[in-house]
Amino acid sequence: MSGRATIAIIAFATVVPVTLAGGCNREPANDIAVDVYAWARCEECQMHEKDNVVRRGTAAVPQLRTVLLDGMPHDHMNRLRASLGLPPLGSTVPVAGDTTARILEIKDVVTSYRVRAATALGEIGGSAARRALCEARAGALPAPPLGPALDTALVHVGGTCP
């Protein structure tokens, strides 16, 4: 086999799996979940992350409802846990040292996801957004900052919960 043929085969063997696997972990730009989780994860939010979600309108409501009610997806949670030196969800591996601060950080991040979902639902508005906010608001008012975020979002949608 010539040198060029060998290089072509190596290049093909390298590029094709990456292309078939989604190309460097890029997600389609039109995927609502991509916009929702980009905003949920951003720290300084300089790339119009919230605007991108709100622009989706009522099509984003089901995804935002899931984030509002359930917090972050398991894959996000496991990445966060790994970054904090904790085992994945459901693991029976013992953790060395005091985990209190790490667990509090996880709770803060989950709350941040939920607050951002409430905020976007309030800006999107509509009956489906109001229902999602009311589901999260059912029962006792969640602790700050989520409780006040829910109430503010409900004011934006012009509704109260039954």
Give 39-87 pLDDT, tens digit per residue: 999 999 999 999 999 999 999 999 999 999 999 999 999 999 999 999 9
Residue 67 located in a structural domain: yes
Residue 60: what residue type? A
Asked whether residue 14 carries a pLDDT value surpassing 60, the answer given is no
Token pair, residue 146, equals 């989520």
Residue 2 located in a structural domain: no
pTM of the model: 0.77
Residue 141 located in a structural domain: yes
Domain that holds residue 90: 29-156
Residue 8 located in a structural domain: no
pLDDT one-digit tens code per residue, 92-150 = 988 888 889 999 999 999 999 999 999 999 999 999 999 999 999 997 778 899 999 99
Residue 117: what residue type? A
SS3 state of residue 26:
coil
Residue 62 located in a structural domain: yes
Residue 161 located in a structural domain: no
Number of domain units in the chain: 1
Note the helical H segments in 45-162: 49-55, 61-70, 74-83, 100-124, 127-137, 146-156
Residue 145 located in a structural domain: yes
